[in-house]
Structure 1
């Protein structure tokens, strides 16, 4: 069996070397199939091997005097098989639940108070989405149609998308225009690039082919209604006041490429009293952004919360915490805040367990005391 597994992985990797062919959906379902087979074997290490056992059950034993249509089975064998089924059932149910969980969209509302927020922006609502990995949905339009309805129901003034539109290829975003056209935000829809938006996770026949794919991804963002900020900033106007919004290209310690230029992204808004930054990888916050002491609120994504974890009250755990210091939710250092969105899509294994796809809605208020509260 191990040789077949290696052969399938090798075949998928070979597919990924061909431009315009998206192997991620194939690989995702292979991983799911592989996990479904082997996770059931975990609790049975002390029991006889399943294959010989099942062969005895399935194959009727022929005897000279008569044909038995049901196999002989001892009490011990019967209870061992029942034990296997009972031990495996929770894992299978979790697996199936995780598959369903990838579409269990969750709207998380956060109220924040800043003394330096201009009064004209009091009550502004900002919706953040991140990490769509739209190719993982294949031709299934319904889940994201539902997600977009949830975004609109939150009545955001502005929508910010913090990167990873695709897994790797521009073609993944084709055919979604009518669905994303329904996103409503009177003050605009802005986006930045994530590490998957550069086409770095495939081999290309030429640099020209890779560059064409990148141009296609940029065009897809615009086609879906987002203005991409590539180390740029814009001024936002509301009720006679102004705040700044900056967006950097991907910058991180563990993901590539590193194209973010914070200084360039901050031009034209440094004189403003309040500023928001979009940076895909949360590692950027500790490495560069905090030291600038400039951006009041930074929005990131990237981690997905590793699509697996436990969040109950104050208890939070995910394998993601062993990879990145800031892996999900709100973080504060002094009067500066970072929020890491858990992602709206999925990548790799087509499942989410304890880490549902997230739509974050921030409602900002002007007030005397800085504060952030989950509603």
Structure 2
């Protein structure tokens, strides 16, 4: 609750500050002319719009902990889109205006009447400094607005396949060439019955003819009711050997107050049952040995384990019992922080699959460069990581949470091929 309160207070400060600074910026010259306490045209909108958002978010903040329906999450995410579509452009307008103003502040570039000096023998018209800065601000403001709209309309369902080929000397011969498809973080309540779009994701997965499909947690936002109707989509997933899943931090119902502990337990049990209904074999601190032609590998799944405020229900010691001698081990663990905190230090899992971060649903990825705000919160936030003989892959998520958009961080379908050979990665 403390973390949520801090975020809420930060939101209010950000909203009021942006509107105050932008109001002062736009009406600065007018106030000099008509008095410091005057109310120039447009003032109403600068104060009424943030008031509407603050009151709206206040209502959601007050009820989110006691809500007994997933619909409020859908309302919240579209309210957030409306908020960001207004306030991100405002922020970038202000930054563009102020930064450009600072860059051209040298007096020699301007005439005494505030006009930009004529260039090229007067062939181009002059423009006032304020108008020029405003145009720069408008240009800067358009970028986040267009990006957000693209992320809402197209980006959230622009499914992206990412291929990785890993070689292990201890991979049994019968499993040479094993193809794993990983998906993560569906958040079915956020998808809001977009069945047709997710059927396309299922088709893309089935086109790969995987041996294993691994789902690494966060089936829902909070409630069992979010899963209703989705069996007609995900039961169509095909895998030669099997489909395995684990729970994520959102699957426990910890983000709401329940009438009684039994109600929360019932919700969790129904969510667990939904994994089977959707066609997955749920591994709760459990291992399953896979055998082919006398060779064996093991797939282990743990419940969520994360640093506070995320829950630590995972029991890797319990899950690993009895499979210590299996030559190759695959682990499903929702939170990538678990890999650094426990997995790679105390256990010999060759490959761990995680999700959780979503890549913050926003970032920039170009060739070997990748950046996202997620990197400031998570040490391992997207893609493949390696230390010694152990690998971790962090899936960027197939669904979305909070904001129904993805900008530069498309929903991911991970395809990993395992081969027998010298330890390392191979191009695909």
TM-score, length-normalised on structure 2?
Answer: 0.77
Displacement after TM superposition at 1:81 (Å): 7.4
Distance 2:387 2:196 in 1: 39
2:86 aligned residue? 37
Displacement after TM superposition at 1:21 (Å): 3.9
> Bigger CA drift: 240-249 or 33-42?
33-42
2:239 maps to 1:181: no
Structure 1 residues 1-375: aligned runs within 5 Å:
1=48, 2-16=50-64, 17-45=66-94, 46=97, 85-99=138-152, 100-367=154-421, 369-375=422-428
Distance 1:306 1:372 in 2: 26
Where 1:37 maps in the other structure, the secondary structure is helix
The verdict on how the C-alpha distance between 1:248 and 1:94 changes in structure 2, with shifts beyond 3 A counting, is same
Distance 1:193 1:293 in 2: 21
Larger RCO of the pair (alpha carbons < 8 Å, separation 6+): 1
Distance 1:373 1:131 in 2: 27
The verdict on how the C-alpha distance between 1:39 and 1:20 changes in structure 2, with shifts beyond 3 A counting, is closer
2:209–2:240 contact (8 Å) kept in structure 1: no
Distance 2:282 2:384 in 1: 24
> Bigger CA drift: 14-23 or 167-176?
14-23
The verdict on how the C-alpha distance between 1:325 and 1:86 changes in structure 2, with shifts beyond 3 A counting, is closer
Displacement after TM superposition at 1:85 (Å): 4.9
Distance 2:325 2:134 in 1: 71
1:124–1:364 contact (8 Å) kept in structure 2: yes
Distance 2:79 2:333 in 1: 32
Displacement after TM superposition at 1:137 (Å): 0.8
1:103–1:143 contact (8 Å) kept in structure 2: yes
1:22–1:169 contact (8 Å) kept in structure 2: no
Displacement after TM superposition at 1:238 (Å): 2.1
The verdict on how the C-alpha distance between 1:36 and 1:338 changes in structure 2, with shifts beyond 3 A counting, is same
Q: Deviations over 1:61-119 (max 9, x none)?
A: xxxxxxxxxxxxxx979878766654433222111122121111011111111100000
Displacement after TM superposition at 1:374 (Å): 5.0
Distance 1:31 1:191 in 2: 30
Distance 1:101 1:169 in 2: 26
Distance 1:185 1:363 in 2: 14
Give structure 2 stretches of 5+ with no counterpart: 1-47, 99-126
Q: CA RMSD in A?
A: 1.9
TM-score, length-normalised on structure 1?
Answer: 0.88
> Bigger CA drift: 341-350 or 2-11?
2-11
Q: Alignment length, in residue pairs?
A: 347
Displacement after TM superposition at 1:5 (Å): 1.8
Displacement after TM superposition at 1:323 (Å): 0.6
1:108–1:374 contact (8 Å) kept in structure 2: no
1:121–1:239 contact (8 Å) kept in structure 2: no
> Bigger CA drift: 242-251 or 11-20?
11-20
Displacement after TM superposition at 1:354 (Å): 1.2
Where 2:256 maps in the other structure, the secondary structure is coil
Displacement after TM superposition at 1:255 (Å): 4.3
Distance 2:381 2:136 in 1: 38
Where 2:71 maps in the other structure, the secondary structure is coil
Displacement after TM superposition at 1:313 (Å): 2.0
Displacement after TM superposition at 1:250 (Å): 0.3
